[in-house]
Structure 1
Amino acid sequence: MPNPRRKSRRAWVLAWAVLCVTGLAATAWLQAAAAPPEARPERHIKAECRDFMPETEDRMHMAESNSKGQGSILVVSPPGTDCSDDVHDFLREAR
């Protein structure tokens, strides 16, 4: 006569394995369906930082043309504004 306890363990292990495989498949599908970074909308830039960004971009282009791949750039946001997140995102995209 079969042991009912053993059958129950097998059912639990099989159910657990099916759930794991289903979860991995769903995760892979969701990651594949995610929009590529180019298709994502641009990040909103604060109004007080909007005038500051072109100046920073001009300084970066001037520094790139004057340097030979070496050097660093110091970016300081205008007093009284909090542009650190916007400048950080801008510099990350400029790489």
Structure 2
Amino acid sequence: MGEGQTIDFTVLMAGAYPFRMGKRISIRKEGDLFLASSDGQDFGLVKEMQETDVRMPDAFDGIVTESRCEQRILKARALLDKNHSFQSL
């Protein structure tokens, strides 16, 4: 994914969605929650996000790094640029 710092996060999926590694997903904040979507459809809720001192934006993209559809868990990574801002993928 290039130079920069990354932030890893875990998504609890609403169903057993078979996402492939490398797939781009979108994350957006709604209230106190971060929702995950793909191709315009919400599919899950961010459960855990790597500890960071970076202020989380209201919307950002991530890349799937692991998908366990039978357990309804997806792991993904977002890339920060050298200014610790989220890069668009």
**TM-score in same-fold range (> 0.5):** no
With a CA cutoff of 8 Å and minimum separation of 6, indicate the structure with the bigger relative contact order: 2
TM-score normalised according to structure 2 size: 0.21
Larger radius of gyration: 1
- Higher fraction of strand: 2
- Higher fraction of helix: 1
TM-score normalised according to structure 1 size: 0.21
